[in-house]
Amino acid sequence: MKLFSISLRSLASGLCLSLAAFAGAAHAEYPADKPVRIVVPFAPGGGTDLIARTLGLGMSQALGQTVIVENKPGAGTVIGTDLVAKSVPDGYTLVIATMAHAVNPSLLSKLPYNNDTAFAPVSLVGRGPNVLVVRTESPYKSVKDVLDAVKSGKKLTYASQGNGTSAHLAGEMFVNLTKADLLHIPYRGAGPAMNDLLGGQVDLFFGTAAAVSSMVEQGKLRALAVTTPEPSPAFKGVPTVAATVPGYSVESWYGFFVPAGTPAPVIAKLNAAIKKAAQSPEFVKKVEHEGLVVNASDPAEFDRYVKTEEARWRKIVKENNIKAD
């Protein structure tokens, strides 16, 4: 029995060493001959989609491997995010997350995943304002015009790219601070939301800077205000919402997560690739022009930032009685 016990221990020890050696080799090879997939939990054509596709090009060069972008919209980002939560933790599937990731645990009564246990942080990419926009034919030229219209009995609607997204929360905070009677119309992404805004089906959109800036430049949309406490250099001459509505403040952000259990060496390689892509002159010029301040971070820094955001929005959602439609 003693010899048998020793043999079992030796076998187990050998197996562990073999697995460790195999895992080490796998880490060293990453990424192997297999594309890396970025899941965008929104429809094509919005700001998050633009950020993911632009970063994907730089990441592909840094990793020496193809990076593909896959849109999985719906349920206020839950569908795409849940897909990543349930993916194999091998570094080949990432989700590009937004403020909705930090808000959904407070806003939604039930999620198919737990933020704390389902994901591993990779990197924050950047932060920026949302922008209150209307179509150029709209009679509203300021936040005061919108409030005056509501006071006069006009029934106005505002679009968002889904429940729990920055556009939704920006609108709900506006409603709660001003008591304006605005109807929220959620879409499956910024692209569909802007299409209906341009077509006159909805009146307002608190879109991300990345989503609306080109339309503002082309004269198809009019920017009324930015949602950050300070004006944005990318939207010169555009006031803040807070200038009319004291205490108002909303900030958008973008960052990457992988499924929990993804090996640390793989996360480190992804983090380095994201940082290199995000800090490239081409990317910085493109997104800063659209109001995003690049702030690529280490995983631990991103984790702290998201936890701070979760606590901040938990308080705001509760105090303002913000509900998902």
Cβ contacts of residue 111 below 8 Å, gap of 6+? 78, 104, 105
Strands 119-128 and 252-259: antiparallel
How would residue 325 be classed by pLDDT, with cut points 50, 70 and 90?
low
Total residues found in the chain within this entry? 325
d(CA 141, CA 133): 9
Q: What is the pTM of this model?
A: 0.80
In this prediction, residue 15 carries a pLDDT of: 41
In this prediction, residue 25 carries a pLDDT of: 45
Nearest in space to 208 (alpha carbons), one of 237, 186, 228, 185: 228
Q: pLDDT digits over 253-292, tens only?
A: 999 999 999 999 999 999 999 999 999 998 988 887 778 8
What are phi and psi for residue 256, nearest 5 degrees? -115, 140
Report the CATH superfamily, name and number, of domain 130-243: Periplasmic binding protein-like II (3.40.190.10)
In this prediction, residue 150 carries a pLDDT of: 97
d(CA 58, CA 46): 19
Tokens for 174, please give them.
Answer: 């506006």
- How do the domains of the chain map onto residue ranges? 34-128+252-319, 130-243
Asked which of 9-13, 43-47, 81-85, 270-274 is least confident by mean pLDDT, the reply is 9-13
In this prediction, residue 20 carries a pLDDT of: 40
Cβ contacts of residue 34 below 8 Å, gap of 6+? 65, 92
CB neighbour burial string for 143-164, b if at least 16 within 10 angstroms, e if fewer: beebbebbeeeeebbbbbbbbb
How would residue 1 be classed by pLDDT, with cut points 50, 70 and 90?
very low
Q: pLDDT digits over 138-185, tens only?
A: 999 999 999 999 999 999 999 998 888 889 999 999 998 999 999 999
In this prediction, residue 35 carries a pLDDT of: 97
Evaluate if residue 218 carries a pLDDT over 90. Answer: yes
CA distances from 234 to 131, 190, 207 (A): 11, 19, 14
d(CA 89, CA 258): 7
Residue with tokens 């901040």: 312
How would residue 104 be classed by pLDDT, with cut points 50, 70 and 90?
very high
DSSP string over 88-140: -SSSSEEEEE-HHHHHHHHH-S--SS-HHHHEEEEEEEEEE-EEEEEETT-S-
Is the fold of 34-128+252-319 the same as that of 130-243? yes
CATH 3.40.190.150 for domain 34-128+252-319: yes
Average pLDDT value for residue range 188-196: 91
d(CA 121, CA 267): 8
Q: For the CA atoms of the chain, what is the radius of gyration?
A: 22
d(CA 86, CA 64): 26
How would residue 27 be classed by pLDDT, with cut points 50, 70 and 90?
low
Q: What percent of the chain has pLDDT over 90?
A: 71
How would residue 106 be classed by pLDDT, with cut points 50, 70 and 90?
very high
What pairs with residue 18 in β-bridges? none
DSSP string over 159-179: EESSTTSHHHHHHHHHHHHH-
In this prediction, residue 28 carries a pLDDT of: 59
Cβ contacts of residue 27 below 8 Å, gap of 6+? 263, 265, 266
CA distances from 143 to 51, 177, 215, 300 (A): 28, 13, 19, 38
Cβ contacts of residue 71 below 8 Å, gap of 6+? 40, 42, 43, 44, 49, 80, 189
